[in-house]
């Protein structure tokens, strides 16, 4: 049975959900949790274990946005990519 618990970040109550890992290592994530996380059908996610019993999924475009521009190449990398694109055309 679902139980109301305080949200992890103090955002108010949320419903505790449980699911079961299948024999094929598949897990069904409740639609309400996916909506709350902003995930939808077709999203590509990175899955990583954060210790025993804890797995985190991060949408790939969020990872790209977080790290975009973090390399300071002075524009050299962008020019190299553009040159390669021109060669391929």
C-alpha closest to that of 55 among 7, 19, 15? 19
The domain containing residue 80 runs over which residues? 4-88
Question: pLDDT tier at 27 (50, 70, 90 boundaries)?
Answer: very high
Mean pLDDT of 56-63: 81
> Between 19 and 7, where is the model more confident?
19
pTM of the model: 0.49
Q: Which residues contact 46 (CB under 8 A, 6 or more apart)?
A: 57, 58, 60, 63
Q: Which residues contact 34 (CB under 8 A, 6 or more apart)?
A: 40
> Between 61 and 40, where is the model more confident?
40
CATH code of the domain containing 39: 2.10.260
Mean pLDDT of 5-27: 73
Q: How many domains does the chain have?
A: 1
């Amino acid at each position: 049975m679902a139980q109301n618990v305080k949200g992890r970040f103090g955002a108010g109550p949320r419903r505790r959900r449980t699911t079961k890992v299948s024999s094929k290592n598949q897990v069904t994530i409740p639609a309400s949790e996916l909506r709350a996380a902003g995930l939808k059908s077709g999203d590509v996610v990175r899955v990583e274990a954060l210790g025993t019993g804890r797995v985190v999924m991060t949408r790939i475009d969020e990872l790209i946005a977080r790290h975009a521009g973090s390399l300071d190449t002075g524009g050299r990398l962008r020019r190299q990519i553009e040159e390669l694109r021109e060669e391929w055309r």
